[in-house]
Amino acid sequence: MDSDISLQSRIIHIKAPSRDAATDSGAIEATVKEILAAVAARGDAAVRDYSRRFDAADLDRLEVSPEEREAAVAALDPQTRADTQFAIDNVTAFAKAQLGTILPLEVQILPGVHLGHRVIPIERVGAYVPGGRYPLLSAPVMTIVPARVAGVREVIACLPPNAHPAMIAGCHMAGADRIFRVGGAQAIAAMAHGTETIPKVDKIVGPGNAYVNEAKRQVFGPVGIDQLAGPSEIYTLADETGDARMIATDLLAQAEHDVRTRVGLITTDRALAEAVLAEIERQLPDLPTGEVAGAAWRDYGEIALVPDEETMIACSDQIAAEHLQVHTKDAQGLALKLSSYGSLFIGENASVVYSDKCIGTNHTLPTMAAARYTGGLWVGAYVKVCTYQWIEDAALATIAMPAIRQSASEGLEGHRRAAAFRLERN
C-alpha cells in the first residue's frame, strides 16, 4: 500500500479518468444467475425465451445449417474473404509455432523412476463470438483457429442471433464444427450445461459483454474458461520522441470499441502530454465513431505525466494494460523492463490494430489488471499438460521407503499400507 501511495504521488494527471472501469459494471449478478438456472432446467425452451427477450429473435432453429454457412461465405466481398483468410493463415502459423514449444516429456528423475507429461487436446471447446457494434470478422479467427491447431476434437461456436451474416462466414472459415445463433449469458449457460440442441462443452473461450463475462464467472468449475475479460484497454508509454498525432489516433482507434474502453498515455514529456490531449480533441469531431470513442475518452481516458522512466515502468506494471504500446527512443530496451501487459507493441510501427485484425498474435487478452498474473488466449489454452509416472521393479525401494515413513509420521495408515504393499510383493 505504501509503495502504491508513493507511486501515485509521483504522477501528475494532465487528464484523469472520471469513472472507474473496475467498479463500473452494474448489478448483473442476479440476472445472470436466473438465466443460468433457467437454461439448466429448461434447455432450448429457456434459450429461446431469452433470445426473444434480449435479442428480439424468435428462431425455430438454433443451429446454422451447412447451406446457410456456405451461403454466408459466398456472400462475402472477395477482398473481405481474402483478408479473412490472410488473418486465418497468420494466426494458424503463429499458433503452430507456439504449439511446437509445448513438448511431451519423459525423464528418469532417479534410476528406474520415470516421470513425464503428455500434451492432450481438450475434447470439446465452446467459442463465444460477440456480435458487438460491428461485424468483427477477426473475433472467430482468434478463438476457433487455435483450437483447430491444438487438435480439439469439436469446436462449438455461439454468436448473437442478430450478428452480421459475415460473422457466420468467419466462424465457418475459421473451422467451427457447429454454429448456433445464441448470444449473451444464455449462450454461456447452454454451452456449460448442454441443451437438447447445444452440446455441453469442456471449456468456454472468447470475450463478450458484462453479462457474458459474469456468466463465465458463474459457470467456472464444472467447465473451464479462458479468462474474465472486461472492457478493452490501451496504454502508450512515450518519451519526448513520441508522435502526438499517432498516439491520439491509436487511443481513439481502441476507444471506438465501446463506451467503457479504457485508454491512456503515460509519458515523461509534458509537451507531448498536452499535444496528445489537444490532438484527441481535434480528431474526435470528424471521427465517424466519435460518439462511442468520445464517451470512452471522457469517462475513462487518462494522460499521466511521470518524472522518469522508472516511474513510467512502475505505473505501467501496476495498470497491467491489455494492449501496451512503447513509443520511446529505445523501445526495445524499455520493453525488456516491462513485466505486466496483455500484449506488447514495441516501436511505432507495431499498431494494436494489426494484432486486433490479422498479424497472427491473439487479440483475446487479459484486462482489469489480470495481466499481472496471466497472459492472453493462446494455443496452450486448448491443451492439457498431464503428468504420468512409472517405476521399474528395482527402483521400488527408492521411492517406497520414504513414502512409508512419511505416511507413518502423518498417521495415515492406509497410505503406509499402499506404499508398503508393492515393496513387500516385489
* Catalytically annotated residues: 322-323
Q: Which residues contact 116 (CB under 8 A, 6 or more apart)?
A: 104, 105, 106, 107, 387, 388, 389
Spell out the residues 6+ positions from residue 220 whose beta carbon is closer than 8 angstroms to its own: none
Residue 16 C-alpha cell reads as: 484523469
CA-closest candidate to residue 126, choices 32, 222, 200, 43: 200
Give dist(CA 187, CA 248) in Å, integer: 36
Rounded to the nearest 10°, the torsion over CA 140, 145, 148, 149 is -160
For residue 1, give the amino acid letter. Answer: M
- Taking alpha carbons only, the member of 130, 111, 136 closest to residue 187 is 130
Give the DSSP H/E element, type plus range, for residue 204. Answer: strand 203-205
Burial of 243 (0-12, 13-18, 19+ CB in 10 A): middle
The CA–CA distances, whole Å, from 408 to 37, 396, 405, 414 equal 46, 18, 5, 9
Please tell me the distance from the alpha carbon of residue 75 to that of residue 77, in angstroms, as a whole number.
6
